[in-house]
Homo-oligomer: A and B are copies of this chain.
Amino acid sequence: MKLIRHPDKSQWSEFLTRPAFETVELTSTVNAILSDVKADGDAALRRYTATFDGCELDGFRINKEEITAAGEKVPDELKAAIRTAGGNIGKVHAAQAEPIKVIETSKGVTCWRKSVPIECVGLYVPGGTAPLFSTVLMLAIPAKLAGCREIILCSPPDQNGRMNETMLYAAELCGVTQIFKLGGAQAIAAMSYGTETVPKVHKIFGPGNQYVTCAKQLVFQTGTAIDLLAGPSEVAILADESSVPAFVAADLLSQAEHGRDSQVLLVSTSENVIEKTTAELEKQITRLPRSEIALAALENSKAILVDRVDTGIEIINEYAPEHLILGVDKADEVAERITNAGSVFIGNYSCESAGDYASGTNHTLPTAGFAKSFSGVSLDSFVKKITFQKLSASGFRELAPTIEIMAAAEGLEAHRRAVAIRLEEIDGI
């Protein structure tokens, strides 16, 4: 980690800026994949799966027997853990449901909004070095709670044309309706346009590499909604003299092992804690199977020494981290002052792993500073909120002059006349 001591505010942007996305260069490659899948459907999917995943598949859809067989291979202990985590995730997301509140804005004029499930949703879960079944929970549980009719899951097959068994178990448990062995930009294309076997969805969720992210960006432009544009994962930790360096180091490493491009930031009022954390990092990293990845990520990371917790809070709000761990004294009070973050972990026992898996909050969160304007995935992400209004004849009568005056002032005479013609009827003219 690079130590930066008491930086002047004018320098903040220098070390808080993330490496730029390079989606532009990918655009033509990804566009070609999208066009191909749009035109050729399943045949194009077969070609890309052979090229990118190294396996020849006749069909992509996983059948009931395969799912049942996979479930039998998942150890009972892991199944129980998944159910416990799923239960917590369910509780948090169920509490996000919005009851209908009917508001009478003026006498006889009532307005309300209603959450209605997005009918078909597509969940993408990357394959690769780690089988992220936890992401299946984070996306499928709120989708099911929201009431989405069709919940599709796409995840790439391995070279033997198979999908991770725990992933299949989690998908079945959480109510995924169809599972496809499809990865990369071709999976996003399949869900966006639909093919002979893959249904077209209205919104696509989930993380992915730069090809997947670029594909989501492109299909968004042609009408498929997306959850977020996910960049490399990030954590910021605010530490003071009360922090436990061994915990801080372990948390930094748990972020750093995600990928070489992971962003890790330590902000501390204590140089002592920074030094001890650095020593702990060196000690702990040697024991990690993914130490090479973690090491690469740490090389780009920064420890920032600040004079006061206030300055630390200000830096963190400017950075807007995906994950924020407050391992400081009076962490609750500090949490109140956080204005830009995806998810906040309060106190020494709230490690990021807890939220990644099992506390109940969603782990699909805004990265790259998007936390300044985006929320993480929640129940809201799987519904749209339709507004309704109903005017009684007398409510309409009362409000009519207001509408007429405004419509006339905007020069929209037909808008005014839609009111006037009703007034004529009510007043019997």
> A residues touching B (Cβ–Cβ < 8 Å)?
23, 77-78, 80-82, 84-85, 87-88, 91-92, 95-96, 98, 101, 103, 105-106, 109, 111, 113, 116-119, 129-134, 166, 202-203, 217, 221, 223-225, 244, 246-247, 250-251, 253-254, 256-258, 284, 287-290, 294, 331-332, 335, 338-362, 366, 368-376, 378, 380, 383-393, 395-396, 399, 401-403, 405-407, 409-419, 421-422, 425
- In the bound complex, CA of A101 to CA of B331 (Å): 19
Q: Are A113 and B134 in contact (CB under 8 A)?
A: no
Q: Tell whether, in the assembled complex, residue A411 and residue B131 are in contact, meaning their CB atoms are under 8 Å apart.
A: yes
A31 to chain B, nearest CB (A): 11
Q: Considering the chains assembled together, what is the distance between the CA atoms of A419 and B345 in angstroms?
A: 14
Please give the distance in Å from A323's CB to the nearest CB on chain B.
Answer: 10
Which B residue sits closest to A408, measured CB to CB? B78
Structural contact, B421 and A250, CB atoms closer than 8 A: yes
**Could you say which of B355, B395, B425 contacts A244, with CB atoms under 8 Å apart?**
B425
With A347-B390, A402-B84, A413-B257 in contact, do A360 and B109 touch (Cβ < 8 Å)? yes
A118: chain B residues at CB < 8 Å are 372-373
A354 in contact with B403 given A345-B389, A374-B225, A388-B346 (CB within 8 Å): yes
**Count of chain copies:** 2
**What 10 A-B pairs come out closest when comparing CB atoms?**
A225-B373, A88-B105, A105-B360, A349-B396, A81-B405, A250-B418, A257-B414, A346-B390, A361-B387, A375-B385
Q: List 9 A-B contacts (CB under 8 A).
A: A85-B406, A116-B340, A223-B369, A247-B418, A250-B422, A253-B414, A256-B414, A353-B418, A374-B384
